[in-house]
């Protein structure tokens, strides 16, 4: 099923993200995560791109296929420009199609100074356009409520976002953020720019201080004062930090849903216990 059809049939779409096991682990390791997640009935699960530039690494596709065929949950595979030449893309898309994967999240990907990026697709809009020309796939894209770290301004970033949507992206999933004011302001700007595709809010529960600080450094998300107090108060108490982080995510999601968000996309970090607690706190709102 195409994910854009799911958005068309639901007021608030609830989705999850998982990532492939480490290179040294078998793809079978994902079953423990999926066994924990299946009972919360997400509308779809996305799988991050774990190929690392190696087209022979099919863990992303394999997990997306497992989700769809063994768990009967719609799936979406990530694909990045930096790791993919046009020749690679042709092979990957054929493989996706053969195995029944209908949805792709087209991303630029993070630049790794130690691994020169492929140059056939410079931007996610280029990759999205290429995928759409194949005619089989539904294509999603990423967006950044506080602006992409490499954009000169949020307005410039939204101009680029419009190019991505015009290239064929039919829904958007946001980078993580912790201040809903940024998301609502971003949503207003998006609508004014003529972008009318559904946007899901990317939510990452705060359960580990160092992990969140690292993620914030990478993506440029702000930490509001009330969250900073939580991180400071429970810096040496991981169990209390987890509980406080879950409560923070509940409040954030509740505000977003009441504000009319089209979807909630939960970054699970392959931790089904946390995802289940988040779901049970917000399920009556969905």
17 is catalytic: yes
Establish how many alpha carbons lie within 13 A of residue 197's alpha carbon, considering only the half-sphere containing its beta carbon: 24
Token pair belonging to 120:
């056939």
List the helix and strand counts (H, then E) for the chain.
11, 8
Which residue in the list 17, 65, 74, 146 is annotated as catalytic? 17
For 173, the 3-state DSSP assignment is strand
**CA angle 42–144–135, rounded 5-degree value:** 60
10 Å CB burial of residue 77 (0-12, 13-18, 19+) is buried
- Residue 256 backbone phi and psi in degrees, to 5: -65, -45
Residues with catalytic roles: 17
């Amino acid at each position: 099923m195409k994910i854009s059809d799911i958005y068309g049939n639901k007021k608030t779409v609830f989705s999850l993200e998982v990532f492939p096991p480490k290179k040294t682990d078998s793809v079978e390791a994902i079953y423990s995560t999926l066994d924990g997640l299946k009972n919360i009935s997400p509308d779809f699960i996305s799988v991050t791109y774990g190929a690392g530039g190696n087209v022979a690494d099919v863990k992303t596709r394999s997990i997306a296929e497992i989700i769809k065929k063994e768990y009967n949950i719609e799936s979406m595979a990530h694909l990045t420009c930096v790791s993919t030449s046009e020749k690679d893309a042709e092979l990957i898309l054929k493989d996706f199609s053969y195995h029944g994967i209908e949805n792709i999240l087209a991303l630029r990907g993070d630049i790794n100074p130690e691994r020169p990026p492929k140059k056939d697709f410079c931007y996610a809009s280029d990759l999205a356009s290429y995928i759409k020309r194949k005619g089989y796939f539904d294509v999603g894209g990423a967006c950044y409520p506080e602006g992409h770290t490499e954009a000169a301004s949020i307005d410039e970033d939204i101009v680029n976002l419009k190019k991505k949507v015009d290239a064929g992206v039919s829904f958007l999933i946001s980078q993580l953020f912790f201040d809903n004011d940024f998301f609502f302001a971003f949503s207003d700007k998006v609508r004014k720019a003529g972008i009318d595709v559904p946007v899901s809010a990317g939510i990452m529960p705060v359960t580990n201080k160092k992990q969140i600080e690292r993620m914030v450094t990478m993506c440029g998300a702000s930490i509001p004062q009330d969250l900073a107090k939580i991180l400071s108060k429970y810096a040496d108490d991981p169990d209390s930090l987890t509980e406080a982080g879950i409560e923070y995510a509940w409040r954030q999601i509740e505000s977003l849903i009441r504000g009319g968000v089209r979807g909630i996309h939960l970054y699970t970090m392959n931790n089904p216990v946390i995802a289940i607690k988040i779901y049970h706190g917000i399920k009556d709102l969905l």
